[in-house]
Amino acid sequence: MSSLSHLINLDLGRTTKKIIVEYIWIGGSGMDLRSKARTLPGPVTDPSELPLWNYDGSSTDQAPGNDSEIILRPQAIFKDPFRRGNNLLAMCDCYTPAGDPIPTNKRFNAAKIFKHPDVVAEEPWFGIEQEYTLLQKQVKWPLNWPVGGFPGPQGPYYCGVGADKSFGRDIVDAHYKACLYAGINVSGINGEVMPAQWEFQVGPATGISAGDQLWVARYILERITEIAGVVLSFDPKPIPGDWNGAGAHTNYSTKSMRSDGGIHVIKKAIEKLGLRHKEHIAAYGEGNERRLTGRHETADISKFSWGVANRGASIRVGRDTEREGKGYFEDRRPASNMDPYVVTSMVAETTILWKP
Amino acid sequence: MSLLTDLINLNLSDCTNKIIAEYIWIGGSGMDLRSKARTLSGPVADPSKLPKWNYDGSSTGQAPGEDSEVILYPQAIFRDPFRRGNNILVMCDAYTPAGEPIPTNKRCNAAKIFSHPDVAAEEPWYGIEQEYTLLQKDVKWPIGWPLGGYPGPQGPYYCGVGVDKAYGRDIVDSHYKACLYAGINISGINGEVMPGQWEFQVGPSIGISAGDELWVARYILERITEIAGVVLSFDPKPIQGDWNGAGAHTNYSTKSMRNDGGYEVIKKAIEKLGLRHKEHIAAYGEGNERRLTGRHETADINTFLWGVANRGASIRVGRDTEKAGKGYFEDRRPASNMDPYVVTSMIAETTILWKP
């Protein structure tokens, strides 16, 4: 297949100024990523230079057949690690032809919250720990698990090394470099407690860009698993039983929390989150009740708790933050299939804008 | 899969100053290596300039769930042969948040011994011969061995060549170059007496760096076997019966031993080791009693004896050393699963500091 690779890797920069832009959006389920590409006459450095586009919403469950056009508005651009050169990925959100956000467009409301002067002043930072599971293509059973059976119990796999402990590192390492190339702020990766489960972290990212970066990182991951012939799952509890679930722990801080005396601001913020526990849980991902059981390093879904260095709590404050009297905290409740636009803006809204 | 390879091999130096640092540590069993990666803003050459980090000790048998943070202190940097560019591997040791070494942290005590002025003055050199066995992934039987059976008896395999005599040379050769690339002082490799078993030697290394280099060499080996789909075993007697075990013979010398008249210093040191035979054996690796039988080029575990050119002795002095009247000696007792921090520091402690 080497001539196919030759063609895929052609460096068009030598023969034309044209670039290819892959427009990415979120489909009707709220978790299905979609994309298509178009040619533009020359390099682009700002999303505002990209034209609006449209797609067939009746094929993604987002519009009726007799009025199917949905408008794509580019919001963030990244270098394309697959096409390289001057080619780009563009994260978009979706509007009706009249200019209203469609119901599955969660970015729109998040952007409003992040533009509120009180929120802007607090410069909210987010670090999201995205966990995910790799599945064998034909059987939807985790990668390298024996078909019809199970691997040895959890213990050796967290950050593990070796053919019997680490399943799928190629994908993870390719994803790490691809995202850094793209300009996504991936801060790290690690093998997770359940074999064939991995995590990458995006951040610190300010405001709305946390959601943009995480969605494009998910897109790049799904493109890479596609190349590898492996299925990507964001299910929060892919295997029932004594196997860890998958979360998207969201680390958060504001300017006040990062400044001296911030620990008190943190405690007040955690209190407010406790008062809105049910509302947050409802928005933190489908199927989370299968994961938040109080076992496997989670807190029970119906209970709100927080603690320093406590991985069995809803919210964990790190020892560094406790010691320095300022820093950030980790909301461990969101599931791996959460929408980062929803979670980040809701955490900001509750802690900065909401009055009990 | 060449597209995946393209991404894994991306040279990020072209588009960013950022580097990826893989932090490596030893888990709760004392032999399980763990690692995870983080992004740093630019190249780093000095371990003291790397940030401390932390991990979930409750997932490695090193901390309880409600107080799970274990702190990683970077101690030694090597170039990353997998990610290349300016990316690095970092060997770390583990501490409680209060700054105490956790019980499985053997490096801390070793570093203290090597910092002792009497020990530092003697510049202790180590050459460690790490033996290991390669096993087929799903059945944990040595590679190249017939399932349900055995290869022909030992004889043709030591340093052997040919498809019926050398099993797994790819792994050994890539490991050799990867370690040299990383900056580890690998002095050689050879095929061992049992088929599917190999050896590499690290050294000469001074003091604590012998342990750091051997642990990172082990990590690189396990990453390579992971890529090759083969299981790495450091068991000291992987196959019962008329099959050699696996050791980690530790060659040792001090400044005095390397100088004229050193042979007398060597004899005195060996005497001291003889007086502490039981203590050393207890620290020389789990399961060693299955290996040190007095057969297969070992000395019986309960017997301490030394001799020139004697591979059936606990300690062997080379003919070169005897002839020159100075040099080094080889402690043949340590098992392949020994902890080099423990063994190297204990030999230094017994021969330099301990008074009978």
Mean pLDDT of A72-92: 97
pLDDT of residue B1: 55
Nearest CA in chain A to B14: A181
Nearest to A158 among B38, B56, B231 (CB): B56
Cβ atoms within 10 Å, residue A154: 17
- Residue B253 near residue B328 (C-beta atoms within 8 A): yes
Provide, rounded to the nearest whole percent, the portion of chain B with pLDDT above 70: 100
Q: Could B8 and A170 be called an inter-chain contact, meaning their C-beta atoms sit closer than 8 Å?
A: yes
Angle CA(A55)–CA(A61)–CA(A62) in degrees, nearest 5? Answer: 55
The C-alpha atoms of residue B104 and residue B34 are separated, in whole angstroms, by 13
pLDDT at B152 over 60: yes
Q: Could A161 and B2 be called an inter-chain contact, meaning their C-beta atoms sit closer than 8 Å?
A: no
Nearest to A163 among B27, B65, B229 (CB): B229
Q: Return the minimum-mean-pLDDT range out of A213-217, A298-302, B134-138.
A: A298-302
pLDDT of residue B68: 86
Chain B residue numbers with beta carbons less than 8 Å from the beta carbon of A163 are 137, 225-226, 228-232
Q: Could A173 and B83 be called an inter-chain contact, meaning their C-beta atoms sit closer than 8 Å?
A: yes
Nearest to A311 among B3, B34, B58 (CB): B58
Establish how many alpha carbons lie within 13 A of residue B301's alpha carbon, considering only the half-sphere containing its beta carbon.
20
pLDDT of residue A1: 59
Q: Could B226 and A162 be called an inter-chain contact, meaning their C-beta atoms sit closer than 8 Å?
A: yes
Nearest to B36 among A177, A185, A189 (CB): A189
Encode pLDDT of B39-87 as tens digits.
Answer: 999 999 999 999 999 999 999 999 987 788 899 999 999 999 999 999 9
Q: Could B32 and A176 be called an inter-chain contact, meaning their C-beta atoms sit closer than 8 Å?
A: no
Q: Which strand (E) or helix (H) includes residue A87?
A: none
Encode pLDDT of B188-240 as tens digits.
Answer: 999 999 999 999 999 999 999 999 999 999 999 999 999 999 999 999 999 99
- Residue A202 near residue B38 (C-beta atoms within 8 A): no
Q: Could A173 and B6 be called an inter-chain contact, meaning their C-beta atoms sit closer than 8 Å?
A: no
Nearest CA in chain A to B5: A174
Count Cβ–Cβ pairs < 8 Å, chain A vs chain B. Answer: 130
Q: Could B15 and A181 be called an inter-chain contact, meaning their C-beta atoms sit closer than 8 Å?
A: yes
ipTM metric: 0.89
B204 upstream amide cis, omega within 30 of 0:
yes
pLDDT of residue B241: 93
Q: Could A311 and B65 be called an inter-chain contact, meaning their C-beta atoms sit closer than 8 Å?
A: yes
Can you read off the two tokens belonging to residue A31? 């978790």
Q: Could B69 and A318 be called an inter-chain contact, meaning their C-beta atoms sit closer than 8 Å?
A: yes
Nearest to A180 among B18, B65, B69 (CB): B18
Q: Could B56 and A297 be called an inter-chain contact, meaning their C-beta atoms sit closer than 8 Å?
A: yes
Strands (E), B80-224: 88-95, 125-136, 186-191, 197-206
Nearest CA in chain B to A225: B4
DSSP state of B151: -
Can you read off the two tokens belonging to residue B176? 């050799």
Encode pLDDT of A298-348 as tens digits.
Answer: 889 999 999 988 888 999 998 889 999 999 999 999 999 999 999 999 999
- A338: which residues sit within 8 A by CB, 6+ positions away? A248, A283, A284, A285
The C-alpha atoms of residue B302 and residue B41 are separated, in whole angstroms, by 54
Three-state SS string over chain B comes to CHHHHHHHCCCHHHCCCCEEEEEEEECCCCCCEEEEEEEECCCCCCHHHCCCEEEEHHHCCCCCHHHCEEEEEEEEEEECCCCCCCCEEEEEEEECCCCCECCCCCHHHHHHHHHCHHHHHCCCEEEEEEEEEEEECCCCCECCCCCCCCCCCCCCCCCCCCCCCCCCHHHHHHHHHHHHHHCCCEEEEEECCCCCEEEEEEEEEECCHHHHHHHHHHHHHHHHHHHHCEEEECCCCCCCCCCCCCEEEEEEECHHHHCCCHHHHHHHHHHHHHHCHHHHHHCCCCCHHHCCCCCCCCCCCCCCCEEECCCCCCEEECHHHHHHCCCCEEECCCECCCCHHHHHHHHHHHHHHCCC
Nearest to A158 among B54, B59, B225 (CB): B59
Encode pLDDT of B232-272 as tens digits.
Answer: 999 999 999 999 999 999 999 999 999 999 999 999 999 99
Chain B residue numbers with beta carbons less than 8 Å from the beta carbon of A1 are 2
Q: Could you tell me the pTM of the whole model? A: 0.93
Chain A residue numbers with beta carbons less than 8 Å from the beta carbon of B138 are 146
- Residue B199 near residue B129 (C-beta atoms within 8 A): yes
- Residue B155 near residue B170 (C-beta atoms within 8 A): no
Q: Could A190 and B36 be called an inter-chain contact, meaning their C-beta atoms sit closer than 8 Å?
A: yes
Nearest CA in chain B to A295: B65
Position A225, amino acid: T
- Residue B200 near residue B176 (C-beta atoms within 8 A): yes
- Residue A62 near residue A56 (C-beta atoms within 8 A): no
- Which bin fits B106, alpha (ψ -120 to 50), beta or left (φ > 0)? alpha
Chain B residue numbers with beta carbons less than 8 Å from the beta carbon of A158 are 34, 56, 59-60
Instruction: State the smallest CA–CA distance between residue A354 and chain B in angstroms.
Output: 30
Nearest CA in chain A to B60: A155
Instruction: State the smallest CA–CA distance between residue B253 and chain A in angstroms.
Output: 33
Instruction: State the smallest CA–CA distance between residue A165 and chain B in angstroms.
Output: 8
Q: Could B4 and A227 be called an inter-chain contact, meaning their C-beta atoms sit closer than 8 Å?
A: yes
Encode pLDDT of A15-59 as tens digits.
Answer: 999 999 999 999 999 999 999 999 999 999 999 999 999 999 999
First to last CA, chain A: 62
Q: Could B35 and A161 be called an inter-chain contact, meaning their C-beta atoms sit closer than 8 Å?
A: yes
Beta bridge partners of B38: A188, B21
pLDDT of residue B258: 98
Nearest to B67 among A174, A180, A309 (CB): A309
pLDDT-derived band at A218 (thresholds 50, 70, 90) equals very high
pLDDT at B183 over 60: yes
Mean pLDDT of A218-230: 97
Encode pLDDT of A131-149 as tens digits.
Answer: 999 999 999 899 999 999 9
Question: Is residue A66 classed as helix, strand or coil in its secondary structure?
Answer: helix
- Residue B75 near residue B25 (C-beta atoms within 8 A): no
Nearest CA in chain B to A171: B4
pLDDT-derived band at A2 (thresholds 50, 70, 90) equals confident
Chain B residue numbers with beta carbons less than 8 Å from the beta carbon of A189 are 36-37
Nearest CA in chain A to B40: A187
Encode pLDDT of B300-314 as tens digits.
Answer: 999 999 999 988 899
Nearest Cα neighbor of B343 from B352, B331, B355 is: B331
